[in-house]
Amino acid sequence: MAYIGGPFKHDLFISYSHGVDVGGRLPLRDWSRAFADALRGELLQLAVPGDSLSLFIDEHDAPGHGLDPMAPLTEQLKAEVSASALLVVLLSPPYQKSTWCRDERAWWWQCQVALGRSPADRIVLGRIWPEGPWPEDRWPPELVDSAGHPLIGYTLHSGSGPAARPKGWTQVASGLGTELLNDVVSLSGDLSLKLGAIRADTDRRRAAQDEAQRLAGAGGQLLYLHGRADRADDWERAFNALEQGGYAVLPTEPEPIERDAKRAAALREERVNTLSGCDALLLLGSGDGPAVDADLSVVGRFYRESARQRASRESLPCALLDTVGPPLDTPRRRSTARNLGTDWLDATQGPVVPVVRQWLAGAATPS
């Protein structure tokens, strides 16, 4: 299980080239795997206790590790890449020439877009070797910044010209060396911040999806129905219809017109407390346009914001339930409602419940 959690199976995927065979050995592959092991170890130092960390690096040529030898290689590797939250690219001349590595990047990018996630800030570039002739105008689109320039990334090589090599190149067998390990510590710190941000965003999305499923369900939600006492008959009809439709509705009476300032303040406090525990807010439209304008401002904005702060949650879905039509329904009033984050529900042509149910399903769709 990844530290970030679903929909991701892995926190990081290391994309690298095995390089060239030297007498039956693959030095670049061995260096890359040693680097990945060191990075995993440092990230585990920073992980929240009790949480796991999943770092995937293709080891299909190592018996008992990596991919299932009985599964189709391309499809299995594609699934592992696509299920990773962060892509770490170890850039070298062999990597630049590899169509396999190009496909890995493309698979990962396409999956992030399909998940509705922005991939641009979740690719980490490690320059482990001075690059070969890869013209800037042909630089892979996944490895550029918002201005189209190649990512700067992390410099993990030393030396120059033909003598340039990844740091720790000659020390793989004994532990990579101090210079590279210091870079790994620095990189792991940056990666841990990225992982924490992705996890927080993923938790928020998961909570929004849970809320969406609950709001979109057939009844059972707790709705706050605001209406004024001087329109008690209209409020009573809407309350009864929603209750019969399977919704729990609060408060159990329309809002009285209170002239005493102290009692009005106490009533407002009581209503905000009630609203903070509800799933959505409905403002009952009436033929009194100025009263509706006031409700949009005071209840739809002030009450709702106070309830949001009190419950430490996102703002409640809010809609004006119009059972009147003109002259209440005007372009200016609709525009004002929209700018205040309040939807307009036209319930003048039929039963209230189907209109509210359709609205809740739409309002529940997570961003």
Look-up of token digits 């408060």:
251
122 domain residue, yes or no: yes
pLDDT band at 7; cut points 50, 70, 90: confident
Span 212-225, pLDDT tens digits: 555 555 456 899 99
Whether the predicted pLDDT of 62 surpasses 50: no
Compute the distance between CA of residue 176 and CA of residue 159 in angstroms, rounded to an integer. Answer: 16
Query: Are residue 266 and residue 178 in the same domain, yes or no?
Result: no
What is the rounded average pLDDT of the residues 72-88? 81
Query: Are residue 112 and residue 227 in the same domain, yes or no?
Result: no
Whether the predicted pLDDT of 366 surpasses 80: no
* Two tokens, residue 338: 């929209």
4 domain residue, yes or no: no
Query: Are residue 76 and residue 55 in the same domain, yes or no?
Result: yes
Determine the pLDDT at residue 227: 93
236 domain residue, yes or no: yes
Residue 311: C-alpha distances to residues 39, 221, 307, 327 (Å):
40, 17, 6, 36
Query: Are residue 148 and residue 245 in the same domain, yes or no?
Result: no
Query: Are residue 202 and residue 56 in the same domain, yes or no?
Result: yes
Cα of first residue to Cα of last residue in the chain, in angstroms, is 25
Query: Are residue 310 and residue 193 in the same domain, yes or no?
Result: no
Indicate the residue among 172, 194, 213 that finishes a domain: 213
200 domain residue, yes or no: yes
Burial of residue 291, with CB atoms counted within 10 A of its CB: 0-12 exposed, 13-18 middle, 19 or more buried = middle
Compute the distance between CA of residue 346 and CA of residue 322 in angstroms, rounded to an integer. Answer: 5
**Enclosing domain of residue 122:** 10-213
Query: Are residue 174 and residue 48 in the same domain, yes or no?
Result: yes
CATH number, residue 181: 3.40.50
Span 253-294, pLDDT tens digits: 999 888 888 888 999 999 999 999 998 999 999 888 999 999
Query: Are residue 203 and residue 250 in the same domain, yes or no?
Result: no
- Angle, to 10 degrees, between the axis of helix 261-276 and the axis of helix 304-311? 60
Lowest mean pLDDT segment, chosen from 40-54, 161-175, 203-217: 203-217
Domain count, the chain: 2
Compute the distance between CA of residue 15 and CA of residue 3 in angstroms, rounded to an integer. Answer: 19
The pTM score is: 0.61
103 domain residue, yes or no: yes
Whether the predicted pLDDT of 136 surpasses 80: no
Query: Are residue 303 and residue 358 in the same domain, yes or no?
Result: yes
3 domain residue, yes or no: no
Determine the pLDDT at residue 47: 63
Compute the distance between CA of residue 87 and CA of residue 66 in angstroms, rounded to an integer. Answer: 17
